[in-house]
Structure 1
């Protein structure tokens, strides 16, 4: 069987996961990353819902993730004063799909990077794993698989994969528009020391007015991942210290905010493109379908992309046909996640009394319905 020569542009979660999946299926792959540090993830946290944990297991790194990650067994929603609105066990949402976990992005990136670097590909001589080429930027890609790098060199590939994030060069040069749209939300993320902050366990979201949310996810080892967001008409940070926007939140929030001076800021965007393939080019992860973090499905969808694309390329030697199969398998599932994100964001922005009533009466039921189709394999 002819093995397509593949270039993966981007060494984040989606790019590394795909490199691992392709190598495990005996396919030749190169990985380039524009950042000199090899694409090391920023030092924030990551909640891994059960379908993401399942995908990591299917990628062959489930045991190492379990060793590093913290189990998440309960989810809670409180109002901004800390009064409970709903609470449930996550296995009531996910059932037999498996556990949910949390870890830092850096730790997950390191697990995948090591798997790619040290892995061996069956059927291609048992050679060493794929090395990521850091500090290597792609400036242009053509429909025929011709690639131009920032240093002026070129390369020819049977398949080019854009795994280079929401501002993807591959998407811009091959697919054109539309550009991702601003969701009207700003967010800040940081990791805090919770050893002196009692009562932080599992996953807890605290909701206020103006779309304000302060989420904590326990990471273990005295660490807690903090995520805060607020509605905004513009994708720029507000003047002054962002933490004053959450000054009226109760519970552990004030103590945690004291550690958030260097939080990572982002304006949230959503991809408007629903076409992720050309004859010899494909998009995965945020390059294909960035969306609101409301469902915490960004990483899960990226990991699933990697598995599905690797399977279709192994099953179908004709690259354009394999890419068409990939698009067909992923489109409906991603569209569901986008729709549920919109539904959850609307619920969060209901008038406060109605929102609180909704979460009290139907919080667990809403979470179950959001995630039900994701129980099936991608």
Structure 2
């Protein structure tokens, strides 16, 4: 049984799924998030797809009874400029009180909302698997007050792991091209500021010059000031760290201003497979991260290839080509991880499910899924041992070529024609 709460946003554009022939009482999964964002849209679709697959296969075995998943959602709108945290929290409270979910998946889009949500989740004692908010403060709060916050887990990449990935990539650029001057541009939100600060620390500790480090509010659409300073300062690498749709303008401005630097980081709208056409081919040479594989299918992880294919079959080729670079993979996997935890627990008791979530060892779309002691999925460079993020480089005539980590790289990094 797959459904939506009355407040579900049409932005997710997800077709109604058929009711599966599982007759037990439904296990309710709530998805309170920014459904109008590309990450929220595709993460929600991935959850719906996984739940339908499980229901079609007979549902979830709970103490010997087969029960279906039911998915409900509410749009928190927290990705929109000017939406206060309080509004997102009110939406979370509303779906908890009206739908009485057994678990929450995806959850907060913004890290600020995730941190503010933790007390609500603790009060209601609901197993919660985050698949987009990236702040390490979540783990710190769990470590400091484990009994209170033990219901909260995270399956997506966090900011410290992203800093590790970025630092390793920058190290490769330094070795391969002799680069040692960088300019950082970050969105003025918690996860991006933290990522930028971590990368700045790496640069300074490894002999790089940080020409500048600027932050931009959500919704900003003019990055020319920073790009001018990067050009004058001789930056060889411009590192953008943005999840807002307007950030794609940065690439266009860099090309128009003829900034002779490699752009390498995360620009959310430049991640999907159809971005080359969206940006009229101006992405040539850009290195962009996919926070969790799946939207970028990787041959070393067959599950990622299969997920990518099935997503296209279910939602259409246009939907597959526009898959977000953050959230779909872990969102899909979170449903299967929850199913396995419930079945091991043999009940829907929240504390029993939490104990089984801690024991997770699942090979999924994003690689091998295991939680650390503070409930963060472990990321690394080998999908046989850990979950995996990846970087690709855009190449003419519109191909995403995986270049990091080495295990999945299909080519070495190439400097674009304008350098």
With normalisation by structure 2, the TM-score equals 0.30
With normalisation by structure 1, the TM-score equals 0.32
More strand by share: 1
Q: Higher relative contact order by CA 8 Å / sep ≥ 6: 1 or 2?
A: 1
